[in-house]
A and B are shown apart, each in its own frame.
Chain A
Amino acid sequence: MTQPLLAVEGLAVALRTDHGLARILDDVALTIPPGGSLGVVGESGCGKSTLLRAILGILPKGATTPSGRIRFQGRDLLAGADWARGRIGFVPQDPYLSLNPVFRAGDQILEIMRRHAPGSRADHRRKLVELFRAVQLPEPAAALDKYPHQFSGGQRQRLLIAAALACDPALLIADEPTTALDVTTQREILGLLKRLVAERGLGLLFVTHDFGVLATLCDRVAVLYAGQVAELGPTRAVLDTPWHPYTRLLLACHPDRATTLAGIPGTVPAATAQPSGCRFHPRCPLAQPACAAAPPALLALGERAVACPRHEVPFG
């Protein structure tokens, strides 16, 4: 078996808050093989962004030192991530907030390349024009000297994709890169990401709350609930026959599937007051007394894994 590109094992992160210690992530394990793509899906507050921040080494102040391991290309990122800068590209959520309005677009990206990519400034400029062409920005050479406000929302997201690719990363991490965009622009950007990732053989870690986006882009999916992995497996299999009661209920809310506007009873628990046992049990239609007593183990079944012993029980 080849070495995974990214392997997260037993990752736990907590935040110190006024209301006590918030356990944002708890025993999270995932892997991405070279060239593989994993979608992380979950509702607000499930720990998606904290997972990305832990991998990128940019956890907020007040976070405890993460426990567990994050290995990238075989080396532990938690022991120090400076060596990996440039090898992991990041596409942020909001193209409007992620560019400095008073600097030219080209200069902002050249600054990253000066720090993390080999070569002279002239090499970097040449390469960036190529990248701008690859992300289909109009007039790539002239775009280098424009300011962020001179680009539309979709074009800014293309700029940020170019920035993420500027230092030849092996892994691309994207945090809901299309939520701020219109649906027609979203379709173009997803198509672009899919093509670039395939052409360059990149690994992709894609965070989203949109199952439809996930289905078009990722081979595998991890469903997070309250900081833990509820279910993991090939995208097609999980979307066609979800196992975990949470995944089943969440997919039933999707416009493609919904027959009624049911929703899920209750709300995601606060990270400072996680329920005992299975964290989903207070909202789960299949819950039994045992579910409140002990947290379920992540059962591996072939290519898939699920953290629920009652995953085969249909809803009554």
Chain B
Amino acid sequence: MRCRLAELLTAQDLVVELGRDRLRAVDGVSLSIAAGETFGLVGESGCGKTTLARALLGLQGVAAGRITLAGATVTATGRAGRAAVQYVHQDPGAALDPWWRIGATLAEGLTIHGVTDRAEQQARIAEMLAAVGLDPALGARFPHELSGGQQRRIGIARILLLRPRLVILDEPTAGLDLSVQAAVLRLLAALRDRFGLTYLLISHDLGVVRRVCDRIAVMYLGRIVETGAAASLFAAPRHPYTRALLAAAPHLDGRESAAPPLSGDPPSLRAIPGGCRFHPRCPIAIPVCATTAPAVENVTAGHQVACHRWQEESPHA
């Protein structure tokens, strides 16, 4: 167990509005990520995971709220104040220029960040390729000559070259085979220890999140509904949405979960339900859920939930 470390990145009551219609993709999100931890952010497509990541990166303007990085407020600085926060794309194959050799792509990032000496660039690239478990000779290849797993490693190397402190990993194992997925997760853990990194890992794969994250936040329609240490959140999920997510994952023994499946698709940001946003799909909703948004309450220190009924319903086995 790692001891409690200093907060590296925090967000308080963050609101992000998108487009002319000012859709609130992120609506009052607070979270804090400690230096050295792996923080998981889970939720269905369209719940605002990626928008939240873009706001934390400074790529997306914020309508309200505050973001701090290593103690300094960076809410309005854009990317300028946030070189220490970097982002690994969901599909690094698509993020590599097909006409550029891998080495040139890697060098470009260094040039932009002020490392222009050719020899130093080459040395750092060779060192980083070795660190992510690739042959430095791969720098002379083109993206299409690499496998999916290798492209994923290049995507990670490209970001780590910039010596970030916090890396946002967007679905780092989506589309990878089980054996490759295991290797990528092991690599990420090794790199975290070697370079003293902090991860924000966005995923809807609960199996992955469970294996690598220290703490987890569950997001539903722009809000965080439950936050906690991975162990306690998986052992005793309190929010009915978290329980439904856990129940939906298929298991090797073929057992069906006791929890009833969620009905309906996630509602759209254009028609956000009143009260608790989850109430139209919630199996244990009561009238107050439709009228009053639940406050965030402490289950234990470090485990928070936003649900009117978290104390009354025992979690499904």
Asked if A and B are interacting partners, one says yes
Q: Report A's interface with B, CB cutoff 8 A.
A: 43-44, 152-155, 182-188, 190-191, 209-213, 215-216, 235-236, 239, 249-251, 253-258, 260-264, 267
Contact (Cβ within 8 A) B252 A212: yes
* B181 beta carbon closer than 8 Å to chain A: yes
Q: List 11 A-B contacts (CB under 8 A).
A: A43-B180, A44-B177, A182-B45, A185-B265, A190-B250, A191-B261, A212-B251, A212-B252, A249-B179, A254-B178, A267-B147
A155 to B248, CA, bound (A): 18
Pairwise interchain contact A258-B248, C-beta atoms closer than 8 A: no
- In the complex the two chains form, what is the Cα distance from A258 to B208 in whole Å? 11
A262 touches B182 (CB 8 A): yes
From A180, which residue of chain B is reached at the shortest CB distance?
A: B45
Number of A-B residue pairs with CB-CB distance less than 8 Å in the complex they form:
105
Cross-chain contact A261 with B261 (CB below 8 angstroms): no
User: B219 to nearest A CB, angstroms?
Assistant: 12
| Cβ-defined partner of B186 (8 Å) among A43, A250, A263 | A263
Say yes or no: is B253 at the interface (Cβ < 8 Å to chain A). yes
When the two chains form the complex, which single residue of A44, A236, A255 contacts B211, counting CB atoms closer than 8 Å?
A: A255
Q: How many angstroms from the CA of A153 to the CA of B204 in the assembled complex?
A: 15
Q: Say yes or no: A261-B207 contact (C-beta < 8 A), given A183-B245, A212-B252.
A: no
CA distance A234 to B179 in the complex (A): 23
B182 near A253 (CB under 8 angstroms)? yes
Residues in B whose Cβ lies below 8 Å from that of A263: 179-183, 186
Shortest distance between the CB of B184 and any CB in chain A (Å): 8
Against A, the Cβ 8 Å flags (1 = close, 0 = not) of B177-219 are: 1111111011001000000000000001111101100000000
Q: Would you call A188 and B261 a contact (CB within 8 A)?
A: yes
Q: Are B179 and A250 in contact (CB under 8 A)?
A: yes
- Which of A43, A155, A183, A215 counts the most B-chain CB atoms under 10 A from its CB? A183
| Contact status B252-A239, CB under 8 Å | yes
User: Given A185-B265, A209-B178, A215 and B253 touching (CB < 8 A)?
Assistant: yes
Tally chain B residues at the interface, Cβ within 8 Å. Answer: 38
User: Nearest A residue to B181 by beta-carbon distance?
Assistant: A253
Q: Please state if B178 and A253 are interface contacts (CB–CB under 8 Å).
A: yes
| B244 contacts chain A at the CB level, 8 A cutoff | yes
Report the bound CA distance from A256 to B179 in whole Å: 14
Which chain A positions have C-beta within 8 A of B237? Answer: none
CA gap between A209 and B175 in the complex, in Å: 10
Take A251-B252, A255-B208 as given contacts and tell me if A261 and B185 are in contact as well, using a CB distance cutoff of 8 Å.
Answer: yes
The answer to whether the Cβ of B249 comes within 8 Å of any Cβ in the partner chain is yes
B contact residues around A253 at 8 Å (CB): 178-179, 181-182
Interface residue B138 (Cβ < 8 Å from any Cβ of A): no
The listed residue (A155, A183, A211, A264) touching B252 by CB distance below 8 A is A211
Among B177, B206, B253, the residue within 8 A (CB) of A183 is B206
Q: Which residue of A lies closest to B150 (CB)?
A: A267
The reply to whether A183 and B248 form a contact with Cβ atoms under 8 Å apart is yes
Tell me the smallest distance from the CB of A265 to a CB of chain B, in Å: 9
Question: In the complex, what's the smallest C-beta–C-beta distance from B2 to chain A, in angstroms?
Answer: 18
Contacts of B204 in A (CB 8 A): 182-183
